[in-house]
Amino acid sequence: MSYYNTTNLNGADLKKSRGRAESQTEKILRFFLANPDRAFTPAEIDRAMDGYFLLTSIRRSMSDLTKSGDLIKTEEQGIGHFRAPNYKWTLNQTKHPKQLKLF
């Protein structure tokens, strides 16, 4: 996953910011892995994570996860912030097939 260094950080600050971006994207992917049969808007992810991340950062992570093939943008829409319609994303189950529960 990517950190977009738009503020020209370097050294330890850049490393720290890259680590946070990595962690955020991983948390979002884990959320989708835990909910493989559902689709979510970025606003729903924001609410599920109690506003821990900025909505624009959530959108960026979801975009990165879509580019990497982990998520799929659907045609389904839900209500986002400010009552605006937002598209929903779902886990790419071809890349992340469900595990069979044997017991």
Q: Give the model confidence (pLDDT) of 4-61 as tens digits.
A: 555 665 666 655 665 555 688 999 999 999 999 999 999 999 999 888 889 999 999 9
Q: Which of 70, 69, 73, 65 is nearest to 22 (CA)?
A: 65
What are the chain's domains?
11-91 (1.10.10.10)
Kindly give, in sequence order, each residue whose CB lies less than 8 Å from that of residue 84, ignoring residues fewer than 6 positions away.
Answer: none
Average pLDDT in the 82-89 region? Answer: 94
pLDDT band at 82 (very low <50, low <70, confident <90, very high): confident
